Amino acid sequence: MEQNDHAAGDSRRLFICNGGFLTRPRLRRILQLAGWSLRIGLPGPGDHVGIWGDSPTAWRGKALAARRGARLVRIEDAFLRSVLPGRARGPVAGRGPIGLLIDPSGLHFDPDTPSLIETLVHAPATQAQLDRARQGIARLIAADLSKYNAHLPQVAPPAGGYALVIDQTRGDASLRGAGQADFRAMLEAARDENPGLPLVVRSHPETARGLRPGHFSPADLRPGEILCDSAVSPWALLRGAARVYAYSSQLGYEAMLAGHRPRIFGRPFYAGWGLTDDQHPIPRRRPASIEQLFAASHLLAPVWYDPCRDRLTDFEGALAQIEAEARAWRQDHAGHLAHGIRLWKRPFMARFFGSGRGVRFAAKPGPGVTMAWAGRADQVPGALRIEDGFLRSRGLGAALVPPLSLVADDLGIYYDPGRESRFERLMAEPLPPGGGERALHLARLLVEAGITKYNLSGEPPDLPPGRRILVPGQVEDDASIRLGAGRERSNLALLERTRAENPNAVLVYKPHPDVEAGLRPGLVPEAELRRLADVVARNSAADALMGQVDEVWTMTSTLGFEALLRGLPVTTLGAPFYAGWGLTRDLGPVPARRQVRADLARLAHAALIAYPRYYDPVSRLPCPPEVALDRLRDPAFGAGGPTLRLLAKAQGVLAGHAWIWRR
């Protein structure tokens, strides 16, 4: 936010002349956070008049500013905008932009006047900005993000080796009056200059959705030429292209980011820097690097917004938010038919996976089911398997506290080592650009804040001196025990094995909270506890205990993963998701397919960032894990509504009749 930090400190009057500024709440909010005070009326000589780009109504603002001696401020969407185009319909489209270009000097697509972006490109860039730009480009491509993001990874592009011609919507302001004839000239140039190549014309996303017409239709193409109006990734299209032709489309800019030198027929902000073949040169622009251009267009010029925390952010924060929203939409756009979801979970499941056509619930398994709770998924083998994530909540699922994170696994599920899971696939992949640093930073924040899966409070007991081993108890009918345990399949057996191999250690046994509450099986008889454990840490916070012990022994508990984040040695007797990667001492039957030797960064990235999805109950938006962490760090963050609290109390009364409340 280097360029726009000054904006948040002073209040400036911004007079507006069209209703779009009033009817779009997020637009108003970003302007307010950037320091602008929106007004209706007559500005004075020291005031500003805001206009939307060069829209059909912009003339009103221009005339008003000229008449009153006020300054024009041109406002446009930033180059990373949203999942769906602004003209689309529905709740997802209605969210609005994630960032704005607020430019008091010009308009980025008007080459007649230097814009803020052009000024920033001409200014010297620091090495830190260039390094950040380089990583930003890599992150943008790796995350498969563009201005609009309603493309689907599973949609294949045409066979590679083609000339790509990029269409735009008719009458778009960035075309500066160019029309059908200009686009036909570009198409003919692509044909003439690439006689041996196939030709692909890419439709604008708004044209593909029927929102605005483009310049090309199938009638404009010759036999063998392709009109690409499918939901294919723009980056996949660019990877397959041998040559790229654009007028002023942002995709022409992204072609540069992908390593192309595109042929440009208009005069967009990215032309004239020595990075494109320009039909119409812009002499005042001097050569610049792609990193300088990206630093100006994505890092410095835009005002980026964090809709979950309702504050300004930087490019990286905006990218993480759109990545979360795009991931949710891509998985949910067709809607879901869910099976095996308990009644109390259905409302938050509908919200969590509601970024498309919604969630319906099926009483019986069937071929139309697309989603199932992991424990019921064997009845619908092709469905996504749903389970709690590893940053879950303040409180227990068994106490009916809804989760902030869920996993949706299309292969298996992380706690079942008997079959490959999406988590294992992610562990076998290289980390994305910046992924390791982000994961370790997130892990550090978790540890510093004392965040665990359930975040229960409770002071630990005084521990005797010696080599202390924390032994976390588990729910004995839990699927992770049934499917992932080794020879030891009970808490008693876990304690006996740990004591047998560590006769002189101080064993600190932590009963599972669900078991302590009487909600799930797994009690160890008191006499056995006295025989095997030196300390029984009842009602103790897991984080506090981990800060006082030297190592952890477990069957499959998630606490073993949390211990790894805190640098503790971990011995596993089963095959939890974090075993078999070279980070634990494994005494259990770890799958042979886990061949990758991983570091903590890769494990943390897979478990905390890439595998789970997060939902923010405050903003009601998909969110990145950093937002979930902020919620969990907030002591005022609630544990569910009053209805769920009443149900949880009733559940406690009926703890001996689990068949009632576990429906």
Same domain, residue pair 112 and 209: no
- Edge-first strand order for the sheet with 468-472 is 535-536, 506-510, 468-472, 551-554, 570-572, 585-586
pLDDT tens for residues 611-650? 999 999 999 999 999 999 999 998 877 655 554 444 444 4
| SS3 call for 354 | coil
Same domain, residue pair 174 and 43: no
- Strand duo 71-77 + 99-103: pairing: antiparallel
Residue 363 in domain: no
pLDDT tens for residues 165-193? 999 999 999 999 899 999 999 999 999 99
Q: Residue 229 has what pLDDT?
A: 96
Same domain, residue pair 116 and 160: no
Residue 604 in domain: yes
State which residues form the domain around 119. Answer: 12-129
* The total number of structural domains that make up the chain: 3
Same domain, residue pair 613 and 472: yes
Residue reference for tokens 């650009």:
433
Q: Considering only 362-366, 439-443, 659-663, which range has the smallest mean pLDDT?
A: 659-663
Same domain, residue pair 23 and 117: yes
pLDDT tens for residues 526-578? 999 999 999 999 989 899 999 999 999 999 999 999 999 999 999 999 999 99
Same domain, residue pair 119 and 162: no
Residue 279 in domain: yes
Return the number of other C-beta atoms located less than 10 Å from residue 181's C-beta: 9
Same domain, residue pair 469 and 545: yes
CB contact at 8 A, 613 and 625:
no
Cα–Cα distance, 334 to 326 (Å, whole number):
14
Q: Which residues, 6+ apart, have CB-to-CB distance to 207 below 8 Å?
A: 167, 169, 213, 214, 229
Residue 371 in domain: no
Q: Residue 175 has what pLDDT?
A: 93
Asked if pLDDT for residue 598 goes beyond 90, the answer is yes
User: φ and ψ at 5, to 5 degrees?
Assistant: -60, -35
pTM comes to 0.92
Asked if pLDDT for residue 79 goes beyond 80, the answer is yes
Q: Residue 396 has what pLDDT?
A: 63
Q: What sign does the dihedral 619-622-626-630 (CA atoms) show?
A: positive
Q: Residue 9 has what pLDDT?
A: 40
User: φ and ψ at 311, to 5 degrees?
Assistant: -155, 165
Per-residue 3-state assignment (H helix, E strand, C coil) for 418-480: CCCCHHHHHHHCCCCCCHHHHHHHHHHHHHHHCCCCCCCCCCCCCCCCCCEEEEECCCCCCHH
Cα–Cα distance, 151 to 578 (Å, whole number):
32
Q: Residue 397 has what pLDDT?
A: 54
Q: Residue 513 has what pLDDT?
A: 82
Same domain, residue pair 467 and 609: yes
What does the block give as tokens for 454? 């359930």
User: φ and ψ at 13, to 5 degrees?
Assistant: -80, 125
Same domain, residue pair 156 and 35: no
Residue 412 in domain: no
The residue-averaged pLDDT of 128-154 equals 97
Residue 349 in domain: no
Q: Who has greater pLDDT, 570 or 402? A: 570
The residue-averaged pLDDT of 436-455 equals 93
Asked if pLDDT for residue 7 goes beyond 70, the answer is no
The residue-averaged pLDDT of 246-267 equals 98
pLDDT band at 5 (very low <50, low <70, confident <90, very high): very low
The average confidence (pLDDT) of the chain is 92
Distances (CA, A) of 455 to 144, 358, 447, 637: 34, 30, 12, 12
CB contact at 8 A, 561 and 607:
yes
The residue-averaged pLDDT of 394-419 equals 85
**Percentage above 90 pLDDT, the chain:** 83
Return the number of other C-beta atoms located less than 10 Å from residue 7's C-beta: 17
Q: Residue 398 has what pLDDT?
A: 53
Return the number of other C-beta atoms located less than 10 Å from residue 611's C-beta: 23
Same domain, residue pair 188 and 267: yes
Asked if pLDDT for residue 56 goes beyond 60, the answer is yes
Q: How far is CA 252 from the centre of its chain?
A: 25
Residue reference for tokens 């030797």:
597
Same domain, residue pair 119 and 234: no
CB contact at 8 A, 216 and 96:
no
pLDDT band at 3 (very low <50, low <70, confident <90, very high): very low
Residue type, 546: M
Domain boundary among 293, 328, 357: 293
CATH code of residue 224: 3.40.50
User: φ and ψ at 343, to 5 degrees?
Assistant: -55, -45
Q: Residue 655 has what pLDDT?
A: 41
Q: Rounded to the nearest 5 degrees, what angle is found at the Cα of 365, between the Cα atoms of 359 and 367?
A: 80
Domain boundary among 258, 278, 293: 293
Q: Residue 522 has what pLDDT?
A: 86
Cα–Cα distance, 585 to 576 (Å, whole number):
12
Paired residues of 312 in beta bridges:
305
Asked if pLDDT for residue 658 goes beyond 60, the answer is no
Residue 90 in domain: yes
Q: Which residues, 6+ apart, have CB-to-CB distance to 362 below 8 Å?
A: 337, 338, 339, 368, 369
DSSP result, 44-104: -TT-EEEEETT-TTHHHHHHHHHHHTPEEEEEEE-SS--SS-TTS-STTGGG--SEEEEES
**Percentage above 70 pLDDT, the chain:** 93
Q: Rounded to the nearest 5 degrees, what angle is found at the Cα of 477, between the Cα atoms of 475 and 483?
A: 105
Residue 544 in domain: yes
Q: Residue 648 has what pLDDT?
A: 42
Q: Residue 253 has what pLDDT?
A: 98
CB contact at 8 A, 484 and 416:
yes
Cα–Cα distance, 177 to 182 (Å, whole number):
10
Q: Residue 401 has what pLDDT?
A: 78
pLDDT band at 660 (very low <50, low <70, confident <90, very high): very low
Same domain, residue pair 194 and 284: yes
What does the block give as tokens for 533? 């454990």
| SS3 call for 16 | strand
pLDDT band at 383 (very low <50, low <70, confident <90, very high): very high
pLDDT tens for residues 209-246? 999 999 999 999 999 999 999 999 999 999 999 999 99
What does the block give as tokens for 504? 């002189």
pLDDT band at 519 (very low <50, low <70, confident <90, very high): confident
Q: Residue 638 has what pLDDT?
A: 61
Closest alpha carbon to 49 in 69, 23, 32, 26: 69
Q: Which residues, 6+ apart, have CB-to-CB distance to 326 below 8 Å?
A: 83, 143, 144, 145, 149
Domain boundary among 293, 323, 358: 293
In whole angstroms, how large is the CA radius of gyration of the chain?
Answer: 28
Cα–Cα distance, 127 to 233 (Å, whole number):
31
Cα–Cα distance, 167 to 145 (Å, whole number):
19
